[in-house]
Amino acid sequence: MELKMKIDRMKYTVEMSNKLNELLERTYDAEKGFKQAADKVENPTLKKFFKERVNQRYEFGHALKDEIKSFGQSPDKGGSTKGTLHRNWIDLKTFFSNNNEEAMLEEVNRGEKEAIETYNDILHDKEFVLPPTTESLLMRQRNAIRETLETAEIFESAVS
| pLDDT single digits (tens) 51-78 | 999 999 999 999 999 999 988 888 877 6
Round to whole Å and give the CA distance between 53 and 21.
20
Residue 149's pLDDT band (cuts 50, 70, 90): very high
H-helix or E-strand spanning residue 37: helix 2-40
Query: Which residue, among 120, 143, 139, has the nearest Cα to 131 in the 3D structure?
Result: 139
User: What's the confidence (pLDDT) of residue 123?
Assistant: 94
User: What's the confidence (pLDDT) of residue 64?
Assistant: 95
Query: Which residue, among 80, 149, 83, has the nearest Cα to 110 in the 3D structure?
Result: 149
Helix 2-40 to helix 81-96 angle, to the nearest 10 degrees? Answer: 20
- Match domain 2-159 to its CATH number in 1.10.490.130, 1.20.1260.10, 3.40.50.2000, 3.40.50.300: 1.20.1260.10
Mean pLDDT across the chain, nearest whole number? 82
Sequence-ordered alpha helix ranges (H) in 41-159: 44-70, 81-96, 100-123, 132-159
Higher pLDDT, 4 or 159: 159
Round to whole Å and give the CA distance between 55 and 78.
17
Q: What is the pTM of this model?
A: 0.82
Asked whether the beta carbons of 101 and 44 are under 8 A apart, the reply is no
Chain-centroid distance, C-alpha 141: 9
Residue 136's Cβ-side half-sphere holds a number of Cα atoms within 13 Å equal to 4
Q: What percent of the chain has pLDDT over 90?
A: 39
H-helix or E-strand spanning residue 131: none
pLDDT in tens, 80-131: 555 555 555 455 455 445 557 888 888 888 889 989 999 999 999 888 788 8
Query: Which residue, among 43, 18, 157, 28, has the nearest Cα to 100 in the 3D structure?
Result: 43
Asked whether the beta carbons of 121 and 26 are under 8 A apart, the reply is no
User: What's the confidence (pLDDT) of residue 96?
Assistant: 41
